[in-house]
């Protein structure tokens, strides 16, 4: 890529960034101005509603004070007879005057409820401490009731749900407090009375109103600024509380203005973005196509181990991309040369091992064609290697095996069901001169360039077979001697179990060999030898101290019919 192309890309990118910065700044400034205007309007509305709420609560306090001083209420405190008949309608009428669900209760001098404007006694547990305090001091008192904070409650505030008013009822010239009037004012209906949508909050007592207002504004900064907080000043005992009126901010006009501005800004930005995309795409394609093509070819090389010359990159220009393509082609050439050298070296090493190994090695294809034969295998069958390569492997099998071999190979290729592969077995091979040779064969399977190739390892076991035959012949001769000798011969193991029992021993003891073999030899001994024999044998196996082995002695035997007879015993030991 030349200097002009790089400069065009940089300039277009800078222009796009500047457009975004200017548009974003204008949007933020306009948004802040609109929000501030909405906040100012909300502030005026909040102040008006706060005054209305304060005046309404003051009016209720005045009403409760007037009721507490009414002779009817005072008389009811000292004369309980029939007071429900004339006091209850009196309380209901006063409670319904406000029309906001206020309840008024008549309490005795201990603060216990006597009558309630809604016939509900109770629901004043939270107010009990303040009621008792007002009765003891003889002073009117108003206090707030809040609900526990929830996620919608601003930090540092508690939402006020109602205002409770207590006014002592004083009877007589002495100023004796005989009871009190208790009024509970729900704030929800009170707010709705003035068509307000606000919420009354109580702040933490050790912080001033200015800091609280600032904190709430900071918490609700930006477009998330949904409410406006205004201090509310109450008279009387409520003045001790720091209360604030939160009114929702109407941002609908702000949203409409911002939407119109955003629409125009988006339209202008779309034109610039489209132009930038066209320019950027063309430039990016010119830059990235060679890189993507190079990555694809590198991935193909890694996945296939192919280093063909066709994978070289076309070199165009003298810039950075051209230099990179030249380096890629140089790397490909070096890899191809290195792999070819490594393959040649590996092939030579394999051939050397293949030809030098002392055991016969033959490889065949999936159709049973011999592909390679090492010198040891060729000599085993009496062929030259080139006489076997290219022929079917059944040429080195006797006819009785050759007729089944092709079917076995094709069955394995189709079903993958192996009978020989992965195992070792003995079979017979056929030499060139027609003679047969016993073999031990191990077959393994591998894949070379996607083809199935089977490798057979052959061992000439002629000498082992001859040794086995000689061993069997000696065993047969020994068995014939043992079975024809006139003396009884019995063999036992280290536990005293009978292993062989020749015919002469069977005649002497009257048992058949099958009755004795596998039984303890003490069955042929009378007492006390019958009970002592196992202990003697265990002692010999533990200490090696022999009392009978290696010498002849006269002992007593016991026949099958239980008769006892003398006999001469010679015991010898051998390891098998």
Per-residue model confidence as pLDDT tens digits over 41-64: 777 777 787 788 888 888 888 888
Contacts of 125 (CB under 8 A, 6+ apart): none
Q: If pLDDT is split at 50, 70 and 90, which confidence band does 390 have?
A: very high
Nearest Cα to Cα of residue 294 among 325, 334, 315: 325
- Cβ-defined contacts of 65-74 (< 8 Å, 24+): 65/140, 65/167, 67/94, 67/104, 67/167, 67/181, 68/140, 68/167, 68/168, 68/169, 68/170, 68/180, 68/181, 73/106, 73/169, 73/181, 74/169, 74/170, 74/171, 74/178
Average pLDDT of span 59-85: 83
What pLDDT does residue 383 have?
A: 92
- d(C-alpha 420, C-alpha 441), whole Å: 9
What's CA 179's distance to the chain center, in Å? 68
Find residue 430's DSSP bridge partners. 436
Average pLDDT of span 313-318: 69
Average pLDDT of span 120-144: 69
What pLDDT does residue 503 have?
A: 92
Q: How many CB atoms lie within 10 A of CB 448?
A: 10
Average pLDDT of span 272-297: 67
The first and second tokens of residue 521, run together, are: 């030899």
Specify whether the CB–CB gap between 64 and 104 falls below 8 A: yes
- Angle, CA 143 vertex, CA 139 and CA 146 arms, to 5°: 165
Q: Which of 97-111, 413-427, 455-469 has the lowest mean pLDDT?
A: 413-427
Nearest Cα to Cα of residue 163 among 138, 188, 180: 188
Find residue 424's DSSP bridge partners. 442
Average pLDDT of span 353-371: 85
In angstroms, the Cα distances linking 248 to 42, 191, 198, 507 are 8, 13, 6, 122
- As a dihedral over the C-alpha atoms of residue 316, residue 321, residue 324, residue 330, rounded to 10 degrees, the angle is -10
Length of the chain: 576
Q: How many CB atoms lie within 10 A of CB 430?
A: 19
Q: If pLDDT is split at 50, 70 and 90, which confidence band does 3 have?
A: very low
The percentage of the chain sitting over the pLDDT mark of 70, rounded to a whole number, equals 75
Of residues 284 and 375, more confidence is placed in: 375
- d(C-alpha 130, C-alpha 164), whole Å: 9
- d(C-alpha 81, C-alpha 425), whole Å: 120
Specify whether the CB–CB gap between 424 and 440 falls below 8 A: yes
Q: How many CB atoms lie within 10 A of CB 298?
A: 15
Q: Which of 57-66, 168-177, 277-286 has the lowest mean pLDDT?
A: 277-286
Alpha helices per DSSP H over 71-221: 71-78, 83-98, 128-137, 187-193, 209-219
The model's pLDDT over 332-357, given as tens digits with 9 standing for 90+, comes to 778 777 777 777 777 777 777 777 78
Largest CA distance in the chain: 150
In angstroms, the Cα distances linking 264 to 215, 268, 270 are 35, 6, 10
Nearest Cα to Cα of residue 100 among 65, 59, 69: 59
Residue 544: left if φ>0, alpha if ψ -120 to 50, beta else—which one?
A: left
Q: If pLDDT is split at 50, 70 and 90, which confidence band does 208 have?
A: very low
Q: If pLDDT is split at 50, 70 and 90, which confidence band does 218 have?
A: very low
Nearest Cα to Cα of residue 23 among 185, 215, 261, 380: 261
For the packed helices 3-68 and 252-304, what is the interaxial angle rounded to 10 degrees? 140
The first and second tokens of residue 280, run together, are: 């950027």
Match 């060139």 to its residue by tokens: 432
The first and second tokens of residue 442, run together, are: 């191990």
The model's pLDDT over 153-168, given as tens digits with 9 standing for 90+, comes to 766 677 788 888 888 8
Average pLDDT of span 59-81: 84
Nearest Cα to Cα of residue 121 among 134, 110, 106, 131: 106
Nearest Cα to Cα of residue 228 among 215, 245, 252, 253: 245
What pLDDT does residue 411 have?
A: 66
What pLDDT does residue 394 have?
A: 86
Contacts of 251 (CB under 8 A, 6+ apart): 34, 35, 38, 223, 226
Contacts of 204 (CB under 8 A, 6+ apart): 156, 157, 212, 242
Q: How many CB atoms lie within 10 A of CB 353?
A: 11
**DSSP three-state, residue 276:** helix
Of residues 506 and 235, more confidence is placed in: 506
Cα within 13 Å of Cα(477), Cβ side: 6
What pLDDT does residue 220 have?
A: 43
What pLDDT does residue 463 have?
A: 87
The model's pLDDT over 505-551, given as tens digits with 9 standing for 90+, comes to 899 999 998 999 999 988 999 988 888 787 878 887 777 776 667 77
Average pLDDT of span 176-201: 77
Nearest Cα to Cα of residue 160 among 128, 200, 130: 200
- d(C-alpha 300, C-alpha 178), whole Å: 101
What pLDDT does residue 206 have?
A: 36
Query: Does residue 443 carry a pLDDT above 80?
Result: yes
* Helices (runs of H) and strands (runs of E) counted in the chain: 15, 17
- Examine residue 528 and say whether the peptide bond preceding it is cis (omega within 30 degrees of 0): yes
Average pLDDT, rounded, for the chain: 77
- d(C-alpha 55, C-alpha 233), whole Å: 10
Query: Does residue 96 carry a pLDDT above 70?
Result: yes
Query: Which pTM value belongs to this model?
Result: 0.39
């Amino acid at each position: 890529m030349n200097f002009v192309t790089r400069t065009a890309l940089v300039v277009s990118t800078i222009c796009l960034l500047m457009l975004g910065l200017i548009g974003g700044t204008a949007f933020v400034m306009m948004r802040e101005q609109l929000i501030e205007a909405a906040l100012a309007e909300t502030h005026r509305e909040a102040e008006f509603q706060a005054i209305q709420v304060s005046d309404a609560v003051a009016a209720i306090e005045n009403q409760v004070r007037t009721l507490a001083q009414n002779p009817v209420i005072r008389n009811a405190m000292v004369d309980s007879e029939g007071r429900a008949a004339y006091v209850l309608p009196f309380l209901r009428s006063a409670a319904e005057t406000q029309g906001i669900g206020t309840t008024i209760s008549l309490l005795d001098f201990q603060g216990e409820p006597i009558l309630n404007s809604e016939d509900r006694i109770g629901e004043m547990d939270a107010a009990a401490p303040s009621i008792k305090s007002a009765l003891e001091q003889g002073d009117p008192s108003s206090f707030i009731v809040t609900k526990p904070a929830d996620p919608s409650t601003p930090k540092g505030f508690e939402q006020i749900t109602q205002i409770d008013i207590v006014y002592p009822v004083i009877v007589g010239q002495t100023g004796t407090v005989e009871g009190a009037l208790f009024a509970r004012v729900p704030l929800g209906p009170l707010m709705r009375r003035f068509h307000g949508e606000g919420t009354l909050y109580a702040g933490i007592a050790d912080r001033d109103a200015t800091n609280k207002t600032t904190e709430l504004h900071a918490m609700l900064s930006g477009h998330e600024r949904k409410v406006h907080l205004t201090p509310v000043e109450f008279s009387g005992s409520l003045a001790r509380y720091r209360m604030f009126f939160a009114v929702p901010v109407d941002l609908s006009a702000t949203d409409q203005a911002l939407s119109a501005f955003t629409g125009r800004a988006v339209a202008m930005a779309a034109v610039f973005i489209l132009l930038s995309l066209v320019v950027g795409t063309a430039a990016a394609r010119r830059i990235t196509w060679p890189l993507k093509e190079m990555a694809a070819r590198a991935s193909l090389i890694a996945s296939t181990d192919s280093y063909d010359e066709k994978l070289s990159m076309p070199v165009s220009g003298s810039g950075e991309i051209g230099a990179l393509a030249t380096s890629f082609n140089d790397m490909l050439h070096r890899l191809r040369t290195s792999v070819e050298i490594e393959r040649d070296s590996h092939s030579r090493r394999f051939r050397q091992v293949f030809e030098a190994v002392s055991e016969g090695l033959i490889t065949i294809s999936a159709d049973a064609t011999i592909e390679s034969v090492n010198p040891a295998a060729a000599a085993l069958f009496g062929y030259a290697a080139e006489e076997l390569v290219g022929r079917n492997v059944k040429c080195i099998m006797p006819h009785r095996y050759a007729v089944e071999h092709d079917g076995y190979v094709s069955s394995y290729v189709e079903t993958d069901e192996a009978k020989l592969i992965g195992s070792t077995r003995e079979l017979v091979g056929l030499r060139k001169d027609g003679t047969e040779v016993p073999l031990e064969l191990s077959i393994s399977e591998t894949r070379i360039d996607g083809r199935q190739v089977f490798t057979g390892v052959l061992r000439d076991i002629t000498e082992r077979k001859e040794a086995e035959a000689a061993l069997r012949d000696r065993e047969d001769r020994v068995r014939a001697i043992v079975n024809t000798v006139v003396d009884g011969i019995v063999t036992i193991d280290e536990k005293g179990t009978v292993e062989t029992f020749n015919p002469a021993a069977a005649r002497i003891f009257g048992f058949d060999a099958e009755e004795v073999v596998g039984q303890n030899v003490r069955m042929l001994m009378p007492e006390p030898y019958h009970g002592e024999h196992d202990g003697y044998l265990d002692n010999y196996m533990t200490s090696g101290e022999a009392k009978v082995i290696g010498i002849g002695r006269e002992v007593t035997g016991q026949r099958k019919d239980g008769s006892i007879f003398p006999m001469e015993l010679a015991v010898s030991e051998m390891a098998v």
